[in-house]
C-alpha cells in the first residue's frame, strides 16, 4: 500500500465503550434464563450479530427456544442495551477515537463505519460523529456476520476504494479475521494476545494520528 486512502472503523469497542453494555445486557438475559456467561465467553460475542450472539448464549446455557421466542429474547436484550445507551454523549467515546476521525476527515481522506450493530446510527448521532463518515455500513445493511468480510468490503466499495488501500480498526477476533480475509490491513485495538492475527496492534487510539498509522503500515509491508 502506497498511502492509506480509506479508514474503516468498527464501532463497539473501537469508537465507543459500548462492549460493556452489550455484555451486561446479555448477562442479564442469561441470568433471567437461569445461567451465567463469563467475560471470556463474551470475547466471542464481540463483532457478532445480535441473532448469532443469542444462539451462542443459548448454547452455553443448553437451552432451546422457537424462532419466535428467540426473536422476543433478542428484543428484550436490545431493549436493555438501548436503555443503557439512552443518555450516551461524547463522554462514552474511547480515548483518541474522535480526534483521529476528525483528523482523517480534515485531511480529505475517506471514512467508513464497518459495524455489526443495528444501533450504530443512534450511537454516532449521540456522540456527534455521524456527519463525519462518508459511508455507514452496519448490521442494517449486511446479510453476513464477521468473520465474513462483507461489512468491510461494502465499506471499501462505498468509498470507491480497493481493500488494499484501506485499513480496518477492530477490537474483536472475528473482526480481525474479516478484515484479513477481505484483503485489508487490519489494526487490532486492544489486547495483544487476543488480537494477535492483526497486521499490527495498538493498545487504544490515544495519541494515534494518520502519521502513526502510515508508519506502522510501512513497517508491516
Residues that bind ligand B16 (CB under 6 A): 10-13, 22, 45-50, 53, 78, 115-119, 139, 172
> Is-contact 182 8, C-beta < 8 A?
no
Give the binding range for Mg ion (CB under 5 A) out of 12-20, 48-56, 140-148, 150-158. 12-20
* Binding residues for Mg ion, total number by CB under 5 A: 6
Let me know: does 58 contact 77? Beta carbons within 8 Å. no
Helices (H) and strands (E) in the chain, counts: 9, 6
Q: Catalytic: 134?
A: no
Does 165 help bind Mg ion (rule: CB under 5 A)? Answer: no
Max CA pair span of the chain: 54
Q: How far apart are CA 151 and CA 138, in angstroms?
A: 7
The vertex-98 CA angle with 50 and 87, nearest 5°, equals 55
Least distance to ligand B16, CB of residue 59, Å: 15
Smallest gap from Cβ 115 to ligand B16, in A, equals 3
The binding track of 30-69 with respect to Mg ion, each residue x by CB under 5 A or -, is: -----------------x----------------------
Interaction between residue 147 and Mg ion (CB under 5 A): no
49 contacts which partner out of ligand B16, Mg ion, none, CB within 5 to 8 A by kind? Answer: ligand B16
Q: Smaller CB distance to Mg ion: residue 13 or 155?
A: 13
> Is 10 one of the catalytic residues?
yes
Eight-class DSSP state of 163: G
Which residue is catalytic, options 12, 138, 165, 171?
12
Q: Specify whether the CB–CB gap between 189 and 170 falls below 8 A.
A: yes
Q: Which residue has the cell 443459548?
A: 58
Nearer to ligand B16, 1 or 41 (CB): 41
Cell of 62: 443448553
Residues carrying an active site annotation: 10, 12
Amino acid at each position: 500500500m502506497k498511502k492509506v486512502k480509506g479508514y474503516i472503523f468498527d464501532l463497539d469497542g473501537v469508537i465507543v465503550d459500548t462492549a460493556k453494555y452489550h455484555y451486561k445486557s446479555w448477562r442479564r438475559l442469561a441470568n433471567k434464563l437461569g445461567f451465567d456467561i463469563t467475560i471470556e465467553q463474551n470475547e466471542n460475542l464481540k463483532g457478532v450479530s445480535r441473532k448469532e450472539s443469542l444462539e451462542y448464549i443459548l448454547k452455553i446455557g443448553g437451552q432451546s427456544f422457537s424462532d419466535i421466542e428467540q426473536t422476543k429474547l433478542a428484543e428484550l436484550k436490545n431493549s436493555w442495551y438501548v436503555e443503557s445507551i439512552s443518555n450516551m454523549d461524547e463522554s462514552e467515546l474511547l480515548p483518541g477515537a474522535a480526534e483521529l476521525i476528525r483528523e482523517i476527515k480534515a485531511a480529505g481522506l475517506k471514512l467508513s463505519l464497518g459495524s455489526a450493530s443495528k444501533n450504530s446510527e443512534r450511537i454516532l448521532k449521540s456522540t456527534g460523529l455521524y456527519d463525519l463518515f462518508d459511508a455507514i455500513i452496519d448490521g442494517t445493511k449486511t446479510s453476513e456476520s464477521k468473520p465474513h468480510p462483507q461489512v468491510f468490503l461494502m465499506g471499501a466499495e462505498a468509498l470507491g476504494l480497493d481493500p488494499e488501500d484501506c485499513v480496518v480498526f477492530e477490537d474483536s477476533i472475528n473482526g480481525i479475521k474479516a478484515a484479513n480475509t477481505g484483503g485489508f490491513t487490519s489494526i487490532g485495538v486492544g489486547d495483544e494476545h487476543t488480537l494477535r492475527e492483526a497486521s499490527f496492534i495498538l493498545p487504544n487510539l490515544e495519541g494515534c494520528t494518520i502519521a502513526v498509522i502510515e508508519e506502522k503500515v510501512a513497517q508491516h509491508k
